[in-house]
Amino acid sequence: MPHRNDLILAQSLVSGDEAQFEIFFDEYFPKLYRFALTRLSSDEDAVKDIVQATLMNAIRGISTYRGDAAMFTWLCQICRNEINGHFRQLAKSVPVVPQDDDSIRPILESLEATNSPESLFENLQVKRLIQEVLDYLPSNYGNALEWKYIEGFTVSEIAERLQLSELATQSILARARGSFRDALNKISPQLVPGN
């Protein structure tokens, strides 16, 4: 079973485990919010409606989740359908189910037109794209990277937050860096310093 933990989470939700509902919501709501925000040009009202509809639909269909895709990937697909419906209502000109590449391509095209690496990061969409990469990583990877390199926490402080030993935390950080680098390379090698 490729995504066993996610499947167990889904089964716990079906059985009515409230603690698991809290975990599910706290884990995926912020990620979906950012996912929708990137694709809806910061239209807060639309983001609210779409993320709520996504989670409602996901919850109603949670018994059909089989763990074939990661839970976040599954949620993103539902969210993408909601976003398509939103655009269809607005303009009736958006393809029904864009693939990941379709939503990322305009951003990459805008990157190609940008000359200096510094100006890349002035582009809000690029920032959000990189933040989305963190969202796609396992939660403790994304959080550990953010705590260490943005918020400046020590390994010891991160270890305490993750309830792990310092050695295990260092290992998590190393794996997180590797996964982040690989994910970023897949999306756009241009964004990776040193390439």
Partner 1 sequence: MMKNESQIAELLQKVGARADPPTELTSEIKANVKLAWQDEVAMQALKTNSLKRSSLKRKIGMTLFAIAASLFIAVGMNMSDSPLNQAETIATVTKSVNQVEYKIESGEWQNIGQTLIAASYKIRTGSNSYTSLRLQNGMDVRVGEDTEIEIVNLDTIFLSTGTLYVDSNSTVSGSETDISIRTPFGQAVDIGTQFLVQVTPQQWRVQVRDGKVEMKDDNEVFLLESGYRLEISESDTVTKSPIESHDDSWQWIKNVSAPFQLEGATLDHYLEWISKESGKKIKYRSESAHEAASKTILHGSATNLASMDTLSNIISTTDFIIIESTQSSIVIDR
Specify the residue, 80 or 159, whose C-beta has the smaller distance to partner 1. Answer: 80
CA 144-56-23 angle, 5° bins: 30
DSSP 8-state class, residue 1 = -
Specify the residue, 125 or 162, whose C-beta has the smaller distance to partner 1. Answer: 125
For residue 189, the minimal CB distance to partner 1 (Å) is 9
Specify the residue, 85 or 138, whose C-beta has the smaller distance to partner 1. Answer: 85
Point out which residues bind partner 1 (CB under 8 A): 13-16, 21, 25, 29-30, 33-34, 48, 51-53, 55-64, 66, 68-69, 74, 77-78, 81, 85, 88, 96-97, 121, 127, 130-131, 134-135, 142, 145-146, 148-151, 177, 180-181, 184-185, 191-195
Closest CA to 161 of 151, 173, 169: 169
For residue 194, the minimal CB distance to partner 1 (Å) is 5
Report the distance separating Cα 104 and Cα 65, nearest Å: 26
Specify the residue, 38 or 159, whose C-beta has the smaller distance to partner 1. Answer: 38
For residue 112, the minimal CB distance to partner 1 (Å) is 19
Closest CA to 142 of 190, 100, 183, 191: 183
From residue 2, give the alpha-carbon distance in Å to each of 8, 129, 176. Answer: 12, 26, 20
For residue 45, the minimal CB distance to partner 1 (Å) is 10
CA 133: distance to chain centroid?
6
Specify the residue, 72 or 180, whose C-beta has the smaller distance to partner 1. Answer: 180
Report the distance separating Cα 105 and Cα 49, nearest Å: 25
